[in-house]
Structure 1
């Protein structure tokens, strides 16, 4: 059988973007075109029996059925000269797609009105327009930019109404509210929405609002205490909220709540399951999908991360929780029609569409069946009892073609977040390394999602228990698996995993090679230059540099640069506004100044998501650099 290689990236079909109407399921199939260095997507339709391509592409996405199921609206990029986001409508019986309208700065979210005559669209607008030809940025607020978007200062997301027949659009909301998601009232007279009132002073707070369509009067229904991500209005005038109370700051789990706007009474429905109500598993070959929240027959359906897996759950208004779709896998998104439709993957099976009907599950698509021609290393789970008694989930992947009695080099992979998780999802990068003859070790140390809030809360203690967990995972792997060559172990990670890689090389000589990606090296500069730094750093490190400079500096890998002896490759993107380029430049310059072995690879035109959605040729180059560095230092 074949070994999965770096260039096989272009073979993956990314299934996502699901919506349902009774038996019909619309979804998006995205392809990675390495030759054209781009991504192309089309909408497919499953009618309960067959799957067929429904739109021609090349960049169609986000399908939504009309209330009567006769039309699908979707976003696209069909007009070659246009830089605007285009909204199209097409009959579900087939035919030509019709351009409804365009939005200059993009489309964030949209939803049909109950009567199907209007579409409410969230789009960014400029509060103050620049003079024609003006190229100077006059910035008066933070955040001034955002990863994957660019400049966001002076812009807010607002709601427009689009007539489904004429395509005419009219602005519904005004002001400085930054709107994130919306839902229509059942009678179509109002729109409920989630928005930030003050993203500069209270960036983690979002509220539920309602606007009357006729009068345009806006009322706030919540009291600026929570971080609300999504919601559902239900028939009795109350709401289902997916939100965080922020009791533990950012590590606080997102739960499902029942909220009464009249009495302000709120009840946590998922109190019996200390898990985040979303999918936080890492994957580098997944399609873009919504994280749905669905209310049906007294049950709220949602996805939750439970340790190393993401399953479909439901909870009723009394707090009874049931697991609807189980398994060691990652449920990406779902929809409820005449049956349950969902997109899923696991550690050796990329994304596909499935249905669950009458208790029987069926795999509907086979876009990634080509993977069956390849010999893959299946992750083997093991647990490590940490020195404080906590059990840590860990996995090992043997090299493809593994032979008993032979010693192999190993690479420790560290996930980002830190509140994400590794588990039963497909990681092309891991399979590439095992195909190249490396053992891959990965785990969910303290700080990870899926194990409860206390486990995830490492605020003010970065580089302490989380670092110990990782080192104890490596020690545990060495004790259990005698085929690992303890003299040839490397380490890599991105974002928080990049921070931890930087921290590790400044605190131990255990590793013989390291690759740090999209990392943090200096918490002070991170706070002042990045899109979320001004609230993420105070929440995670504690206070701010003016009141806790020693704490910020002590937790900065840059302080510990003189201790580094591990050969280090630094990979960073120029437009990474989550961990901006100076994080890499400072660490690289310090190590060069100190005479250490270090190289820097900088990717133009890429952002924090290089490994997941960067230009295909850049993604391939990134993998070549990682593999090349590990081979250079671990296979001598």
Structure 2
């Protein structure tokens, strides 16, 4: 059998973005073209009997069925010369797609009205217009940019109504509101939506609003205390909300609530399951998908991260919770018609479409059949009892051609977040390393999602219990698996994992090579330069750089640069607005100034999502750099 290679990245088919009407399922299949250095996508339809390609592409996605099932809307970019996002409509019986309209700054989301005659579209809008030829940025607010988008100052997301027959559009919301998601009322006279009222001063707060389509009057229904992510309006005038109450700041789990706007009564439906109501598992080969919230027959269906797995759950209004789709895997998205359609993956199987009907599950696509020709290392789970008695989930993956009695180098992988998780999802990077002869070690230390709020809450304690957990995982792996060469262990991670890699090399010399990616090296500079810095750093580190100057410096890996002895490769993207380029530059400069072994790789035109959504050739180059660095020093 074959070994997986870096350039096999181009073979993955990324299945995602589904919608369901009765027995029909529309979904998107994306391809990664290394040769053309781009991504391409088409829409497919499963009609309960067979799967057929429905659109020709090259960049069709986000399908939505009309309420009567006669039409499908989708977004695309079919005109190469146009930079605008295009919205199309096509009969579900087939035929030519008709361009409805275009939006200059993209389409974030959209929904059909109950009668199918109107589409409500969320799109970025300039609320302060710049002169066309003026290339000077006059900035009056924070945040001024956002990762993967670019400049956002002077813009807000607003709702437009698009006539399905004529394609004419009219603006519905205005002003400072920043709309995030929407749902129509059953009679089509109102639209309920979630929006930020003041993203500069209250960046973590979003509220539930309603707008009357005749009067255009907007009313706020909640009290600016929560971060609301999604909603489902019920027939009795109450709502199902996916909400984070922020009681413990960012580590607070997002739960499902029942909300009565008249009485302001709020009930946490998922109180019996201390887990986040979304999928937070890491994966580098997944397709774009919505995170649905579906109410059907008295049950609310939602995805939650439960340890190293993301499963489909349902909860009723009495708070009774059931696991609908379980297993050691990652449920990416789902839809409900006459059966449940869902997209899932696991550690050795990339994304595919499945259906659940009458309690029986069936796989209906096989776009990634090529993977069965490859010999893959399956993650082996082990528990680590930390020094304070808490159990930590950890895994190793043996080299593909593993031989008993032989010693192997190992690479410790650290996930980002920190409130995400590793688990039963496909990581191409891990399989590349095992194919190259490395053992891969990974874990979910304190700070990770999926294990409850107490476990996730490391605010003001970065580099303490989380660092201990990671080092104790390495100790336990060496004790259990004698084929790991303790003198040849490397470490790598991105975002929070990059911060932790920087922290590790400043606090121990036990690793012989390190690769830090999209990292944080200085919390003070992070506070003032990144899209989320001004609220993420105060939440995670405590206070701000003026009232906690010492704390910000104590938790900054830059402080410990003189201690670094591990050869370090720094990988960073030029347009990473989550952890901006200076985080890499200052750490590289410090280490070079101090005479350390360090190199810096900067990727132009890329952002914080280089490893997941970057240009295919850059993704290949990144993996080549990581493997090359580990091979050189291990």
In 1, the alpha carbon distance for the partners of 2:84 and 2:166 equals 19
Alignment correspondent of 1:117: 117
SS of 1:40's partner is: strand
Structure 2 equivalent of residue 217 of structure 1:
217
Q: Deviations over 1:495-534 (max 9, x none)?
A: 0000000000000011000000000000000000000000
SS in 2 for 1:110: strand
Which residue is 2:154 aligned to? 154
1:368 corresponds to 2:368: yes
Question: Would you say 1:12 and 2:12 are equivalent positions?
Answer: yes
Residue matched to 1:501: 501
**Which residue is equivalent to 1:176?**
176
Name the residue aligned to 2:628.
628
Give 1:86 shift: 0.3
Name the structure 2 match of 1:167.
167
d(CA) in 2 for partners of 1:591 and 1:80? 44
The alignment status of 1:310 with 2:310, answered yes or no, reads yes
Q: Which residue of 2 aligns with 1:351?
A: 351
SS at 1:540 equivalent: helix
Pairing 1:552–2:543 present: no
1:608 alignment counterpart: 608
Determine the structure 2 residue equivalent to 1:475.
Answer: 475
Q: Distance in 2 between matches of 1:288 and 1:606?
A: 18
Q: What corresponds to 1:48 in structure 2? A: 48
Moved over 4 A (4+): none
Give me the whole-angstrom Cα distance separating, in 1, the residues matched to 2:627 and 2:176: 47
Secondary structure, aligned partner of 1:26: strand
User: Secondary structure of 1:488's match?
Assistant: strand
**Cα distance in 2, alignment partners of residues 314 and 43 from structure 1:** 28
- Counterpart residue number, 1:487: 487
Q: Return the TM-score normalized by structure 2.
A: 1.00
Which whole-Å deviations, capped at 9, do the CAs of 1:227-279 have from their partners, x for residues lacking one? 00001001110000001100000000000000000000000000000000000
Distance in 2, matches of 1:369 and 1:269, equals 40
1:128 positional shift: 1.4
Please name the residue that 1:529 is paired with: 529
Q: 1:444-459 maps to which residues of 2 (within 5 A)?
A: 444-459=444-459
Q: Secondary structure of 2:230's match?
A: strand
Deviation of 1:79 (Å): 1.1
Structure 2: unaligned runs, 5 residues or longer: none
1:269 corresponds to 2:269: yes
Distance 1:220 1:95 in 2: 43
Summarize deviations over 1:416-471 as a string: whole Å, max 9, x none. Answer: 00000000000000000000000000000000000000000000000000000000
Q: Number of paired residues?
A: 634
CA–CA distance in structure 1, aligned partners of residues 250 and 376 of structure 2: 36
CA distance in structure 1 between the aligned counterparts of 2:364 and 2:150, rounded to whole angstroms? 38
Question: In structure 1, what is the equivalent of residue 143 of structure 2?
Answer: 143
CA distance in 2, matches of 1:195, 1:330: 29
Is 1:37 equivalent to 2:13 in the alignment?
no
- RMSD of Structure 2 on Structure 1 (CA): 0.3
- Aligned residue for 1:246, secondary structure, equals coil
Q: Does 1:250 align with 2:250?
A: yes
Who is 1:94 aligned against?
94
Q: CA deviation at 1:199?
A: 0.4
Please report how far the alpha carbon of residue 81 of structure 1 lies from its aligned counterpart in structure 2 after TM superposition.
1.0
Separation in structure 2 between the aligned mates of residue 399 and residue 174 of structure 1, nearest angstrom: 56
- State the Cα distance separating 1:132 from its structure 2 match: 2.5
**Per-residue deviation, residues 137-162 of structure 1 (Å, max 9, x unmatched):** 00000000000000000000011000
Distance 2:245 2:156 in 1: 24
